[in-house]
Structure 1
Amino acid sequence: MVEKSFLIQSAVNIAEEISASAIIIMSNDLPLEIDTHIPVMLASTSAMMAADHLLEASNVEEGKDSTGRLQAISETLYYKGTLGSERISDASVIAFIANMLAADHVVGIVSHGETTSIVVHDLKANPVVKELRACSERVNLNILKSVLMIAMDLGAYGREGKPVGTAFIIGDMEEVMKRSHQLVLNPFFGHPKEELNIRDPAKWETVKEFAQLDGIFVMDSHGYIHAAGRYLDVNAREVEMVKGLGGRHASAAAITRDTEAIAVTTSESDGIVRVYRDGIQIIEIDPRASKVSRYK
């Protein structure tokens, strides 16, 4: 058996050779004594462990002949390799949104059971990152990242243990305000402009508190919040939606069809974060399955 420490050192060598932004480790049992100047991050393994359990239960069955068992093992190994690549891709998206990556290449180490793989991921080819960068033609990318950080935190943890659903409409503010009205008194009205900047992490707790209000947030393309608790007056009947999503998602999608705004929603039922542009869902992120923290 190949020593896992050898595989880790191989991953470190690759990361240093290509000047990677980070090494992302997805494992519960890898040694973490890693000597490198490359930032090292840890990613959640919960989603992968659940998928592994389902795969092994369905594929590796007693009673199969030798050919069948060999095929099942081959499919399992292929699936684990593909799953590892997908999970590193997902973790890279979270790290990108959190501004933890300075360049486009990430080296991942994925270990579960007796299988350990090394993944080199290029953010330029990541479909979520590509869509986020395309949105920067309309809104500042760092503003969108800040909104996504808040939305993902609400999706993963809710507020005081309770699930929270909300929506953020970013950009083309004047047109969005024309197509909406207040459901409740606007908690952001009359405050100094410097107190309304979504890019300031010190303001995020306030935003998450007001996310419990009915209605949506409206902010301009520079990241200043103009309103919360607002209702969108749009016709969402012809918007194509994922089945099971409610009126908040439909109206958020519709306002991006009728204006140049970008919409970010958090689902109260499952915590999924979605991004809409031109009336179409372009991004879906499960914040509970993809968590990344800095190790060193």
Structure 2
Amino acid sequence: MKEGEHARILLKKAIEITNALDAKALVIIGIPSQYRPKMKIPILIIGKESDKEASNFQHLPLPLSLGSKNLVNLASSFMIANGIIQEGELFVYVTPSTVGIQKAEKTVEVRDEFFSQIEHIFQEVLELAIELSLEGREGKPVGTIFVIGDTRNVIRHSHQMVPNPFKGYKINILDRNTREIIKEFAFLDGAFIINKSGRVLCAGRYLDIDFKKINVHVPSGLGGRHLAAAGISKLTKAIVITVSESGIVRVFKNGKIIFEYNPRLH
């Protein structure tokens, strides 16, 4: 069978199921752009490359390596948040290897602002955070913070806790070969600081937040790491991703949690 033939067959079957069930949307994950159906219902394309071929197409630029289950759950929340589908309605999803039916529900704690933050560097850091959540380091859970963007202000409101292992090196999150290097330093207390081009400037950085001047609130049970993440995201224009030792990945913007997800449960 020719390359791509599986995807074409599965997409055809997904269209049949969508029509038979009167499903309210079709979610296409990781199928090449030459296979795009003409349908009246909304179609959500998931992947890093944008598709702008038809007015009923929506695009969610998330990395496919997050896995089908994670992506389907995020798609569900995205469609509900954007009024594409109502909670409880059926949608069909298709990947290069599977076709499935799902009831729309918010299985992910996510605010609308999360989806507006998705861009290339953020995608890569989120993917890395989820990898750390699932894998830990040498079999042990890892908790850490990634602070992305507005680096001048972030550096001004932080200090180095330990010698900076990235000083003098051009380690970039976009280079897949550097992923393991970054993970090696995830055990350090403090935060990774990543600029808008993806370069890792620091690790082991302590975030200096004066909570008498910066008023932020996090849910009961969350500790200093999450307070610091909320604080620096309110004090600067940075977006912050945390990984807790329990496996939960959270994204902070403007002092608030805009995304909360535990990949280990899905």
Aligned ranges 1:229-244 → 2 under 5 Å:
229-236=204-211, 238-244=215-221
Structure 2 Cα separation of the partners of residues 220 and 210 of structure 1: 17
Change (3 A) 1:129 1:189: same
1:13 shift after superposition = 2.2
Aligned ranges 1:95-244 → 2 under 5 Å:
107-108=92-93, 118-119=101-102, 128=110, 130-136=112-118, 141-191=119-169, 193=170, 196-236=171-211, 238-244=215-221
1:108 shift after superposition = 3.6
Give 5+ residue unaligned stretches, structure 2: 1-10, 37-67, 77-83, 86-90, 95-99
Contact 1:11/1:118 (<8 A) preserved: no
Contact 1:89/1:121 (<8 A) preserved: no
Give 5+ residue unaligned stretches, structure 1: 1-7, 25-36, 39-87, 97-103, 110-116, 291-296
Q: For each residue in 1:89-123, what CA deviation from the matched residue of structure 2 results, as whole angstroms up to 9, or x when unmatched?
A: 85425689xxxxxxx997248xxxxxxx833869x
Structure 2 Cα separation of the partners of residues 236 and 201 of structure 1: 37
1:262 aligns with: 239
- Structure (1/2) with the larger helix percentage: 1
1:13 aligns with: 16
Aligned length: 197
Change (3 A) 1:278 1:129: closer
Structure 2 Cα separation of the partners of residues 223 and 213 of structure 1: 20
Change (3 A) 1:147 1:208: same
With normalisation by structure 2, the TM-score equals 0.64
Q: For each residue in 1:61-86, what CA deviation from the matched residue of structure 2 results, as whole angstroms up to 9, or x when unmatched?
A: xxxxxxxxxxxxxxxxxxxxxxxxxx
1:277 shift after superposition = 0.3
1:257 shift after superposition = 0.6
1:277 aligns with: 253
Q: For each residue in 1:5-41, what CA deviation from the matched residue of structure 2 results, as whole angstroms up to 9, or x when unmatched?
A: xxx98635256998742399xxxxxxxxxxxx79xxx
- By relative contact order (CA 8 Å, sep 6+), the higher-ranking structure is 1
Question: Secondary structure of the equivalent of 1:265?
Answer: strand
Aligned ranges 1:57-76 → 2 under 5 Å:
none
Change (3 A) 1:225 1:94: farther
RMSD over aligned Cα atoms: 3.5
Structure 1 Cα separation of the partners of residues 26 and 221 of structure 2: 44
Contact 1:215/1:231 (<8 A) preserved: yes
| % identical equivalent positions | 41
Match of 2:226 among 236, 242, 249: 249
1:207 shift after superposition = 0.8
With normalisation by structure 1, the TM-score equals 0.58
Structure 1 Cα separation of the partners of residues 242 and 263 of structure 2: 12
Question: Secondary structure of the equivalent of 1:244?
Answer: coil
Question: Secondary structure of the equivalent of 1:230?
Answer: strand
Structure 1 Cα separation of the partners of residues 206 and 70 of structure 2: 32
Structure 2 Cα separation of the partners of residues 120 and 93 of structure 1: 10
Q: Which amino acid aligns with 1:288?
A: R
Structure 2 Cα separation of the partners of residues 252 and 15 of structure 1: 42
Structure 2 Cα separation of the partners of residues 225 and 130 of structure 1: 27
The structure with more radius of gyration: 1
Q: Which amino acid aligns with 1:232?
A: L
Change (3 A) 1:248 1:213: same
Structure 2 Cα separation of the partners of residues 155 and 144 of structure 1: 16
